[in-house]
Amino acid sequence: MQQLWLKLKDISDLIVFKHSVFALPFIFVAMIVSSKAQSGTLWFGFKLLILGLLAAVSARNFAMAFNRYADRDIDKYNPRTASRPSVDGRIGSLNMQLFIALNAAIFIAVAYLINNLAFYLSVPILIILGGYSLFKRFSPYAHLVLGLSLGLAPIAGVVAIQESIPLWSILLSIGVMYWVAGFDLLYSLQDMEYDTANGLFSIPSRFGKEATFFISRLFHGQTILFWFLFALSANLGFFAYLGVLIAAIVLFFEHRIVLKDFSKIDRAFFYAEWLFGHHLFAFVFLDRI
């Protein structure tokens, strides 16, 4: 029993399972806005709630495990990542392959149970989710690919409810993409020297620290713009716009924290991930009520 628990802990460390909840607010923002427009109620039923949770968790498990598997040759020489289970031998290559395949199969099966469009999009989504790990080997746009991976969450949410992709969901998704990419730029500053020495194509390694700060601020400005357009396009009200304003304030303080003391990047990560997603959901929920 103890051995099983240790193995589960290793898997959790591999995919950082506790962070799976970070994508959920954006899925459910899209689902409640869509449900309210479709049926006049925020509640979309237990079936879609359970299937949505399964889809979100399996997609993220696939993405994280594929990333760890593909990056083994990079991670083992980086002091920040050398203790990951994919590198230090706690989880072997075959077990990672099986875990990746299992979660891909679960995601596709869940998409099939949701509706036809979800099923048709399931494999392309998995390809995008895995693309980040490969992109950073030849393009500095990998940060945007990572952003797109999480940005697909609202698209998935609205497809589950109405089997279509309205304009407001695209605007919401673009905002999420820029938010994640902007933060990933800051986070990747930790590996700037390593990436430069090993020929990896991160923006910090290609353009330097000051340019990275500027591009991150630019991306986060785009986040606020597209979320404002999302609220406008979805005909949301006061509380939704207030949520966007609070998101802008959170981003402002995130950049202040990192600029003053880069060692607090993990603290900024906590603020960005928790306050951003959950507060946006809370204010959109209030608005739709």
Q: Is position 49 within any domain?
A: no
Q: Is residue 139 part of a domain?
A: yes
Top mean pLDDT of 90-94, 210-214, 250-254 is at: 210-214
Residue 84, phi-psi category: left (phi > 0), alpha (psi -120 to 50), beta (remainder): beta
**Rounded Cα distance, 246 and 279, in Å:** 8
- Among 90, 128, 126, 127, which Cα is nearest to 12's? 90
Residue at 53 is within a domain: no
Please give the full DSSP string across 163-190, using - where no structure is assigned. Answer: SS--HHHHHHHHHHHHHHHHHHHHHHGG
Is pLDDT larger for residue 257 or for residue 156? 156
Would you state the pLDDT for residue 289?
Answer: 82
Report the pLDDT value the prediction gives residue 122, as an integer from 0 to 100: 96
- pTM of the full predicted structure? 0.89
Q: What is the mean pLDDT of residues 184-203?
A: 76
In a domain, 261, yes or no: yes
CB 158 within 8 A of CB 165: yes
Mean pLDDT, the chain, integer = 83
CATH number for 36:
1.20.120.1780
* CA–CA dist 66, 91 (Å, integer): 13
Lowest model confidence (mean pLDDT) among 11-20, 174-183, 271-280: 11-20
> For the chain, how many structural domains are there in total?
1
Residue 27 has pLDDT above 70, yes or no: yes
Q: How far from 10 is each of 82, 91, 94, CA to CA, in Å? A: 14, 7, 15
Residue 20 is assigned to a structural domain of this protein: yes
Written as six digits, the tokens of 140 are 């500095």
| Domain interval for residue 175 | 16-44+115-288
Q: What is the pLDDT of residue 5?
A: 56
* Nearest residue to 25 (alpha-carbon basis) of 3, 59, 48, 56: 56
Contacts 24+ apart (CB under 8 A), 101-105: 103/58, 103/59, 103/61, 103/62, 103/65, 104/58, 104/62
| CB neighbour class for 79 (10 Å; exposed up to 12, middle 13-18, buried from 19) | exposed
Structure tokens at 265: 């990047």
Residue 123 lies in a domain: yes
Mean pLDDT of 109-135: 92
Residue 80 lies in a domain: no
Phi, psi of 75 (to 5 degrees): -65, -30
For residue 163, tell me if it sits in a domain: yes
